[in-house]
Amino acid sequence: MPPFSVLDLAPIPEGATPGDALRNSLDLARHAERLGYNRYWLAEHHNMTGIASAATAVVIGHVAAGTRTIRVGAGGIMLPNHAPMVIAEQFGTLASLHPGRIDLGLGRAPGTDQRTLRALRRDPSAADTFPQDVIELQALLGPVQPGQTVQAVPGAGTNVPLWILGSSLFGAQLAAMLGLPYAFASHFAPDALMQALDVYRRRFEPSEQSQRPHAMVGVNVVAAETDAEARRLFTSAQQSFARLFRGTRGQLPPPIDDIESFWSPAERVQASGMLACSFVGSRETVREGLEAFVARTGADELMVASAIHDHGARVRSYEILAELMTAPVREPEMA
């Protein structure tokens, strides 16, 4: 198995508060560190009542300060929402406080709706300059050049590793052109996964940061002691996606016994399509699914999201998954 990392959207379960969610994030990060996960990433979303990580750099600082060795970063920062200078200063500060532990994944989407984008005082056309903004940000985090009059302090010389995030060919092409690692959001947008990975690997140009392509692939994992228990826990994510189509987003709902009584056939098709890269079940069921997925994609790393309502069950899911990190890959049985 390749290395596993954690994508934490800092979900706010129904009946809980943002403070509860942020405390859960730190607790989960400490477990992930102990269990041997590679990275712990948080993501920028705005105006979402079920997600507590809007101030992403602040939450990263909270998690990094409460852990010791695990890499902590953004998966990601939606760069069109910010001036590159501000992000360079934020992540330069984080890298100065936690040397060698900070990652900066960059996305082109706004991470919110158009009305909230206006509240952020950003122009919707800001996404058009995403490639140039990435290059500018990279320069601000790199060594100060002769005659450079504008510097990020902290930031300059920290060389915080950049990642390009994406769910389409655009991000794959940009990551390849800039020679940066690439993270594909197949945990909610799997349609272009294989094509994007192919484009990224074929077009990759070595850079100072990365000499070879490194593709991290997002997956949903809900692991429990039995398949039935895991499938029940997974209904929280299924309900959330159905609510997305209904326009009734909210906090992460508790699991239910019968998901078929909750969603319509059309919602089932839509949600199941978006959640196609999900591995739900017991230890063995998840192992079999992930082994086949890694063989198909050639993923260098898996970024694992687990939208589970009960924090204890969420921690347990990551514990079960961690057991597979060091387990030998089983040879296929002979017919």
Is 2 strand, coil or helix? Answer: coil
Residue 334's pLDDT band (cuts 50, 70, 90): very low
Query: In angstroms, rounded to a whole number, what is the distance separating the alpha carbons of residues 11 and 286?
Result: 22
The mean per-residue pLDDT over the stretch 165-184 comes to: 97
Q: Which pLDDT value is given to residue 327?
A: 67
Provide the token pair at 322: 């961690």
Q: What topology is assigned to 4-326 in CATH?
A: TIM Barrel (3.20.20)
Residue 119's pLDDT band (cuts 50, 70, 90): confident
Q: Which pLDDT value is given to residue 329?
A: 53
Query: In angstroms, rounded to a whole number, what is the distance separating the alpha carbons of residues 12 and 192?
Result: 29
Nearest to 207 by CA among 187, 180, 230: 180
pLDDT of 335 strictly over 50: no
pLDDT of 56 strictly over 70: yes
pLDDT of 226 strictly over 90: yes
Q: Supply the pTM of this predicted model.
A: 0.94
Nearest to 217 by CA among 290, 272, 297: 297
pLDDT of 331 strictly over 60: no
Contact yes or no for 248/303 (Cβ under 8 A):
no
Q: Where are the domains of the chain?
A: 4-326
pLDDT of 135 strictly over 50: yes
| Averaged pLDDT of the chain | 94
Tell me the backbone φ, ψ of residue 236, rounded to 5 degrees: -65, -45
Is 251 strand, coil or helix? Answer: coil
- Tally of CB atoms within 10 A around 334: 4
Contact yes or no for 311/319 (Cβ under 8 A):
no
DSSP 305: E
pLDDT of 333 strictly over 60: no
The mean per-residue pLDDT over the stretch 61-66 comes to: 98
